[in-house]
Structure 1
Amino acid sequence: MQIIFDGATVRHDAREAIHPLTLSLDDHRIGVIGLNGSGKTTFARLIAGLTVPSDGKVMIDGLDSVADANTLRGRIGFIFQTPGNQIILPIVEDDIALGLKPLKLGKAEIAARVEAALSRLGIAHLAKRRPHELSGGELQLAALAAVLVTAPSLVIFDEPTNQLDLKNRAVVEQAIAALDESAIVISHDLDLVATFPRVLVFDQGRIAFDGPAQQAIARYREIALR
């Protein structure tokens, strides 16, 4: 998937959350790091079509993120910081099936796709569970299954290891590493993006560095400790 920012800007009143940004992305794994409020999540929401540019454009495989939003729907999955809030139905398998409703599939086909998404992540045993019964890592995987069932080309993760213990963090890290789909990972967990070939460092709404993980992490530390 090719993502092009063409002078894309986001303003909140008089403040620019994202300064005019011109950038091309087509890497399989991209990390996004930076201090709180630096523009990371706004950047990701622009890609997913959840935030509209104040000026400029974001193009996804030649399609405009605003004008062609309906066509792009389903091609990009977004896992929010609090995946428990993303699971809105009381049973996990029903919530995963919800994303397939617009496709007008038969019940058997929906059931097969849900089962495949759960099995792919090794969580078929969670199908009948309720969200409040799941651990933090299991919630992340259930939310990911609900995204993968729609067959996106790109999955965006917003702080996927936030508040997870070591065991659950490892589960989520392994799930991300195993994805065939492209992934953009926003994180304060520097170890999570430490092997990524490309990491963007955001600082006050601008990209302060764009390159290999270890150099990006070094630049982030300079910004954080200045």
Structure 2
Amino acid sequence: MPPDAPLIELRDVALTLDGRRVLDGVDLAATERRIGIVGRNGSGKSTLIRVIAGLIAPDRGQARVGGVDVAHDRKRAVGVVGMLFQNPDHQIIFPTIEEEIAFGLTQQGRSKSEAARAVAAILSRFDKAHWAGAAVHTLSQGQKQLVCLMAVLAMEPAVILLDEPLSGLDIPTRMQLGRYLDAAPATLVHVSHDPDALTGYERVIWLDAGRIKQDGPAARVLAAYGAEMRRAGGRDDLSDLAG
């Protein structure tokens, strides 16, 4: 990747799902380390970060992370971008914690011994070495989300995509996981319904009906978004309610 190239680059990205245009002409060049994405239900937020992750290929345009075409070079994509889903049960596929963390590492091409060392290192880093052989089903939702975070961090991606990963967790768990995320060396792209979760971010993108409505410093965009949401909530027209 050229030294002056943006870490995340989307060019004229468009996508139709089930006959509905979900993303429409999205252009983005990002170098910031903390980026938020806001928007109402159905605005295309989760679809956008799945495109950035390479999990969905756009109908038109291209998404690149770290110079990698993430939709068409999946082997290299797993080395540059990781993702935390809202529900860890949609992400975890192995019965034990060490197997779950090791999977992504082997997908990167690491040998079993290299993966085992990396698993031990990340568990030790989080003071969870005693979790290695534990069954995932015995964990709480917050603990499962921590396993997912450790699995992503062990792969050392340049970008971590967050699709409301703290939603549904209690306040202490959100605070603890939030601190881990704040300390992550990777660039974070964070989808959230809660503007407060993005306070202190460098940049926020407001998505509306699959298009970027505003894009800029977090304080300015969040203020405009909050004002619009309050106006929408204050109206009595039920047709304005999101599904």
TM-score for the superposition, normalised by structure 1 = 0.92
What is the match of residue 22 of structure 1? 27
* Distance in structure 2 (CA, Å) of the matches to 1:199 and 1:125: 38
- Number of paired residues? 225
| Aligned residue in 1 for 2:75 | 70
In structure 2, how many angstroms separate the alpha carbons of the residues matched to 1:197 and 1:100?
30
1:173 pairs with 2:178: yes
Post-superposition offset of 1:119: 2.5
Mapping of residues 27-66 of structure 1, within 5 Å: 27-66=32-71
- Please, which runs of 5 or more residues in structure 1 have no aligned partner? none
Q: Does 1:201 align with 2:197?
A: no
User: Which deviates more, 62-71 or 17-26?
Assistant: 62-71
Distance 1:170 1:204, change over 3 A: same
- Whether contact under 8 Å (2:161, 2:189) holds in the other structure is yes
Partner residue of 2:132?
127
Picking from 97, 101, 104, the partner of 2:102 is: 97
What is the letter of the counterpart of residue 105 of structure 1? S
What is the alpha-carbon root mean square deviation over aligned residues?
1.8
Q: Which 10-residue stretch deviates more, 177-186 or 10-19?
A: 10-19
Shift in CA distance, 163/180, structure 1 to aligned 2, threshold 3 Å: same
| Residue 179 of structure 2 is aligned to residue 159 of structure 1 | no
Given candidates 79, 85, 102, the residue that maps to 1:80 is 85
What residue in structure 2 maps to residue 192 of structure 1?
Answer: 197
The one-letter amino acid of 1:157's match is: L
Structure 2: give runs of 5+ residues left out of the alignment.
1-5, 233-243
State percent identity of aligned pairs: 36
Partners of 2:163 and 2:223 in 1: CA distance: 21
Query: Quick one: which of 145, 151, 163 aligns to 1:140?
Result: 145
Larger radius of gyration: 2
Relative to structure 2, which stretch is displaced further, 54-63 or 135-144?
Answer: 54-63
Q: Distance in 1 between matches of 2:191 and 2:123?
A: 24
Structure 1 residue 89: deviation in Å? 1.3
2:238 is matched with none
Question: Does structure 2 retain, via aligned residues, the 8 Å contact 1:136–1:164?
Answer: yes
The offset of 1:121, in angstroms, is 3.1
